[in-house]
Chain A
Amino acid sequence: MIHLNKIRGARRRDLAQVVEIDARITGLRKPAYWAGILRRYGGRDPGRFFLVFVQKEEVQGYVVGEVRDWEFGSPPCGWVFGIGVRPETRLRGTGTRLLEEICAAFRRRKVEKVRTLLARDNALVLAFFRSQGMMAAPFIALERDL
């Protein structure tokens, strides 16, 4: 039934499902945030990507990322800053396919690295990215109270 599964750019009508998937994972509903993501990453900017994995008209997962140039002193590279899969459809390769697709899009933009940033205690997503061959980057994230 491969023809029923596809990865494509997110559309306005996908937003409610993306919000629902994100809310189930994080416990927070953020419709305004996702509308903003669609505006900024679902358009024609060739370096920005908001993709959804659709199966029988139902969104099973999403990934958001972009190519950033010379940030943090790094040559242009792809950044993945959001990925989510319906909890009941995990371990079926949805996240892997989404990551592969966005990496292919990054490669088409001629970048050779993909990076992401995660909370240390986000064991599930950390383990996912590790399983995809990602390793610690030569950067250290820092913060302080303001």
Chain B
Amino acid sequence: MSQPTLVVGNVNWFRFASPQAFYPLAGAMIPWFAWLAAISCAAGLYVGFFVAPTDHQQGESYRIIFIHVPAAWMSMFIYLVMAFWSGIGLVFNTRLSYMMASALAPTGAIFTFIALWTGSLWGKPTWGAWWVWDARLTSELILLFLYFGYLALGAATDEPRRSDRSCAVLALVGVVNIPIIYYSVKWWNTLHQGASVSLTSAPTMAATMFAGMALMAVAAWTYAIAVSLHRVRSIILERERGADWVAQLEGRP
């Protein structure tokens, strides 16, 4: 099979589809994203705790929003990216795509758990219940189980290349859950409130509250990118163990 090519601006972008070419590129990108994450997190926490005012209805409990909303966004977005790489892997049979998908899953699961956990701690003082079987909460819980299923399927065999395709199919089937989570607050009469931030209208919250949330969202994004690039590098080393180029990394700082 000949190598696919995609030449834009004298660069064949498919070159980076090879783990060997992507490994150093990912390594060079990690510090940038990690620093961006650390700086935006520090700024977001400062704005969230010291600039944003007390909410006149919810008091200080609303400050959970600075974690809850970015984590919930990431839980859905990471799944979409995971499904995207799974689809690319199934179509082009590129090994790196499967590695990218599996590098994203643990981080996606963590963000999903954080969204559920912080939601529960926010629900108790505002709704009076740690948990309700509301459409938004239930579909987010299903998302957590989808991540667990994906991870368990990937761990079920010692030969990862055999499980790549079944994991990819699972990721693609589960993607129907994402619009269900996102639109659940519109489609059903949920206890969970509707979106305070949307692409089509101004946010319905104080500007400083929104600023804190936006900074924390940037932190969550850049953290997720840094962490999954770091993880994909380990996955590349694990899977390409026998390759010449991996052996030749020896002695390099």
Chains A and B form a bound pair: no
Residues of A within 8 A of B (CB): none
Residues of B within 8 A of A (CB): none
